[in-house]
């Protein structure tokens, strides 16, 4: 009788084990989920036509024939777009299929095939749900962070987020470059597209449910971006050391400078005035100088200011990497536009050495005669 009861107990235990949900027996571990999802996340680079990088973001492959969803603000006003896949492939031809400005989402198309697309979850996640984010924060491509679904709420509850649509609030850390990133659950199901973050002491980050925007993937091409062939990821730079400062040659820095960033805290002489003044001078085009809006891309930073309650205007030129002062000057005039013109000529003279062969004495004599006449 004891043997019979033991046999029946073992059989019941075996049948109970078989009846357990398959997810318990064959559950995919977090690292496997992330590894599988990474190939569906892309890096999005945009430019404004100068050939230089303007913005960097993330995107999600939602269809294996090359349809990608990203945050609309990443590609808005872009003249050039480039898409990079996890396997190293780069696409310079990118089309815009459509966008939903309210939700800050855009659909892109690249001429790819058999790409790894996400598996979209049609179910709304519950609060406390474990999630992963895969994105490109601060140019650190394919970075993974984890956290929880903090809330499922209407955008109306969030300052300046818009209204009339749901968002997923989550706690995984994100930063610049994460816009358009993938929010996925523990089983590799795509839950949301990262769109924004609130600056605060907490991780207040938001994603739009992919199930609510997947219809954009079926849109037709409405426009094409310029080719992003020249766009490159920013290179990581280390802070200058004392040795770097000792070895730095201000003359060489000025001679090799090409990209200029201009900034001002004054209304009387602003960056636009200086840009116009510099670009009017023939040397600006002849030396192939360029003005960049992102200081990180600059070789030299130029600051222009006005001294309060005076007619004094000042400028300074600084090496962007070492912060070494390269040149400075002051003029006393009654208008910022006049000061801009004078500063532009002074800056060009500081950049001139080594860029052009010195003029023969005969040419200098002729120039002097022309000035006299």
pLDDT value for 318: 95
Whether the domain at 42-117+217-227 and the domain at 119-210 fall into the same CATH topology: yes
* Strand 259-264 with 290-291, pairing: parallel
To the question of pTM greater than 0.75 for the whole model, the response is no
pLDDT for position 13 = 47
- Measured distance CA(95)–CA(258) in Å, rounded: 32
- Give the separation between CA 291 and CA 347, rounded to whole angstroms: 13
What tokens does 189 get? 């199901």
The predicted structure's pLDDT at residue 294: 80
Per-residue pLDDT of 30-59, as tens digits, reads 677 788 899 999 999 999 887 778 899 999
Torsion sign across C-alpha atoms 126, 127, 128, 131: positive
Dihedral through CA 284, CA 290, CA 292, CA 298, nearest 10?
-100
- CA–CA separation, 294 and 260 (whole Å): 10
Angle among Cα 186, 189, 192 to the nearest 5 degrees reads 105
For 361, counting Cβ atoms within 10 Å of its Cβ (0-12 exposed, 13-18 middle, 19+ buried), the class is: exposed
Those residues whose C-beta lies under 8 Å from the C-beta of residue 366, and which sit 6 or more positions away, are: none
Task: Give the pLDDT score at 238.
Answer: 66
Each residue's pLDDT tens digit in the chain (373 positions)? 555 444 545 454 444 444 444 333 344 456 777 888 999 999 999 998 877 788 999 999 999 999 999 999 999 999 999 999 999 999 999 999 999 999 999 999 999 999 999 999 988 899 999 999 999 988 889 999 999 999 999 999 887 788 899 999 999 988 888 999 999 999 999 999 999 877 555 668 999 999 999 999 999 999 999 999 989 887 666 677 777 778 889 999 999 999 999 999 888 999 999 999 999 999 999 999 999 888 878 999 999 999 988 999 999 999 988 889 999 999 999 999 999 999 999 999 999 999 986 656 655 566 666 655 5
Q: Return the pLDDT at 361.
A: 60
For the stretch 353-362, contacts whose Cβ atoms lie closer than 8 Å and that sit 24 or more positions apart, written own/partner, are 353/251, 353/254, 353/255, 354/251, 354/255, 355/255, 355/283, 355/287
How many CA within 13 A on the CB side of residue 278? Answer: 27
Reduced to 3 states, what is the DSSP secondary structure of residue 352?
coil
Please report the pLDDT score of residue 197 as a whole number. 79
368 contacts: CB under 8 Å, gap ≥ 6: none
Query: Quick one: CATH architecture of 119-210?
Result: Beta Barrel (2.40)
Q: What do you get for the CA distance between the two ends of the chain, in Å?
A: 129
C-beta atoms surrounding 73 within 10 Å: 17
Residue 26's pLDDT is: 40
If you classify domain 242-351 with CATH, what class do you get? Answer: alpha beta
Q: What is the reported pLDDT for 159?
A: 79
Q: What is the pLDDT of residues 172-187, one digit of tens each?
A: 988 888 999 999 999 9
**Nearest to residue 59, comparing CAs of 125, 110, 113, 102?**
110
Residue 19, pLDDT score: 45
Choose among 238, 181, 207, 230: nearest CA to 79: 230
Please give the C-alpha separations between residue 162 and each of 151, 159, 167, 243, 312, in angstroms, as whole numbers. 17, 8, 11, 51, 45
* Fold held by 42-117+217-227: Thrombin, subunit H (2.40.10)
Q: Supply 246's token pair.
A: 């000792």
Question: Where are the chain's structural domains?
Answer: 42-117+217-227, 119-210, 242-351
From CA 183, how far away is CA 130, in angstroms rounded? Answer: 10
Residue 198 C-alpha from the chain's centroid:
17
Give the per-residue pLDDT at 20.
41
pLDDT score of 228: 92
Tallying the residues shown for the chain, one arrives at 373
pLDDT given for residue 302 in this prediction: 96
Burial class (CB in 10 A: 0-12, 13-18, 19+), 131: buried
SS (H, E, C) 28-67: CCHHHHHHHHHCCEEEEEEECCCCCEEEEEEEEEEECCCE
């Amino acid at each position: 009788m004891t043997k019979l009861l033991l046999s029946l107990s073992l059989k019941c235990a075996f049948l109970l084990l078989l009846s357990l949900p398959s997810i318990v027996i064959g559950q995919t571990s977090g690292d496997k989920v992330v590894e599988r999802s990474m190939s569906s996340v892309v890096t999005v680079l945009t430019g404004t036509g100068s050939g230089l990088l303007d913005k960097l973001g993330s995107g999600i492959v939602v269809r294996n024939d090359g349809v990608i969803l990203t945050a609309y603000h990443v590609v808005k006003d872009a003249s050039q777009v480039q898409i990079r896949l996890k396997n190293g492939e780069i696409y310079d031809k990118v089309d815009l299929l459509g966008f939903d400005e309210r939700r800050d989402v855009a659909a892109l198309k690249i001429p790819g095939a058999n790409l790894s697309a996400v598996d979209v979850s049609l179910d709304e996640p519950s609060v406390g749900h474990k999630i992963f984010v895969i994105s490109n924060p601060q140019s650190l491509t394919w970075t993974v962070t984890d956290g929880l679904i903090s809330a499922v709420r209407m955008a109306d509850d969030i300052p300046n987020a818009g209204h009339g649509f749901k968002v997923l609030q989550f706690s995984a850390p994100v930063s610049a470059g994460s816009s358009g990133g993938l929010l996925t659950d523990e089983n590799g199901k795509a839950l949301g597209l990262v769109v924004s973050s609130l600056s605060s002491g907490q991780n207040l980050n938001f994603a739009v449910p992919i199930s609510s925007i997947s219809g954009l993937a079926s849109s037709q091409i409405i426009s094409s971006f310029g080719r992003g062939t020249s766009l490159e990821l920013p290179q990581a730079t280390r802070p200058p050391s004392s040795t770097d400062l000792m070895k730095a040659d201000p003359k060489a820095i000025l001679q090799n400078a090409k990209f200029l960033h201009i900034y001002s805290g004054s209304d009387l002489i602003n960056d636009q005035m200086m840009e116009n003044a510099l670009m009017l001078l023939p040397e600006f085009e002849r030396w192939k100088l360029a003005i960049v809006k992102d200081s990180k891309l600059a070789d030299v930073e130029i600051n222009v200011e006005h001294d309060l309650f005076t007619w004094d205007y000042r400028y300074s030129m600084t090496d962007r990497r070492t912060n070494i002062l390269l040149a400075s000057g002051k003029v006393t005039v009654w208008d910022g536009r006049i000061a801009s013109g004078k500063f532009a000529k002074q800056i060009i003279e500081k950049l001139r050495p080594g860029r052009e062969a010195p003029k023969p004495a005969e040419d200098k004599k002729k120039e002097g005669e022309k000035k006299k006449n």
